Copies of this chain bind each other. A is one copy, B any other.
Amino acid sequence: MAESAKPATSMRSLERAIDILEVFDASQHALRLTEIARRAGLPIATTQRILGVLEARGRVERDANGYRPGVGLIFGAHAYLATSPLLNAARPVLQDLAAATGLTASLFKRIGWFRVVLARVDGATPLRYELPIGERLPLHLGAGKALAAQMTDDELAGFLDQLDSHTRADGSTVDRDQFLAELSTIRELGYSQARGEREPGMASVAAPVPDPAGASAAVQVTGTYTDVPEDRVPQLGVELQRAALAIARRTP
């Protein structure tokens, strides 16, 4: 847990409030005051004071079981989804992609060592499993590889170091060299593919959205093994690259 720099602007109280909010981003159920304080690494009294404000402002809710994220958080996300140039550029492209392929098309963005689902348009057969917007998914499985392939060498090293195990949904494990080899294939081809890596029975093809400032987004189509037979992959790959390019073009 090496603490990094605290460079330019600093505001302790705000910074701490965000720390507390981030505690909620992770866990699934209501948390007690003491627990939140512990996880955020803050004194209890301070934690409580901050939670009080957050609660008053609808950012946090509360019941007998403790504190939970509050409805107020919804608006920010909605505002982000509505104003993001990337998303506005991607939306029609995803529609087209879903219509043209009959598969479910999604847009991901890399955040730290994860990727996040930003948008999704269902194809002919809506997927059976949920994949709600905002979900955090790994970078080393499925469409994550399209993003991992775009990392700089330094980033990649850092990423691999914090990855403890690399096991796919089908139980197979991948070692570092295999993975690096795959990433370089992805860079060559311009798209990634996966079968049952993150979700058993599901296949996907993905392409990074080119971006001068280092690509951090990717488009993907997903479907069952039957929807995405092996021999359809190259064609889908090309279509995805076209889509990724279209998104990049339309992004201001």
Which residues of A are in contact with B by a Cβ distance under 8 Å?
A: 8-11, 13-15, 17-18, 21-22, 24-26, 28-30, 49-50, 52-54, 56-59, 61, 63, 68-71, 73-85, 109, 111, 116, 118, 132-136
Interface centre among A58, A73, A75 (most CB of B within 10 A): A75
Whether the pair B28, A82 counts as a contact (CB closer than 8 A) is yes
Q: Which of B9, B54, B83, B132 contacts A78 (CB 8 A)?
A: B132
Apart from A25-B75, A73-B80, what 5 extra A-B contacts exist at CB < 8 Å?
Answer: A11-B49, A24-B76, A73-B73, A74-B118, A77-B77
Contact partner of A76 among B13, B25, B118, CB < 8 A?
Answer: B25
Cβ of A76 and Cβ of B76 under 8 Å apart?
A: yes
Residue in B30, B54, B134 whose CB lies within 8 Å of A75: B134
A28 neighbours in B (Cβ, 8 Å): 82-83
Q: CA separation between A15 and B52, bound complex, in Å?
A: 11
A-B contact pairs, 15 of them (CB 8 A): A10-B53, A11-B49, A14-B54, A15-B53, A18-B59, A28-B83, A68-B83, A69-B76, A69-B79, A73-B73, A73-B77, A74-B116, A75-B116, A77-B78, A81-B134
**Alpha-carbon gap, A57 to B22, bound state (A):** 10
Q: Are B29 and A83 in contact (CB under 8 A)?
A: yes
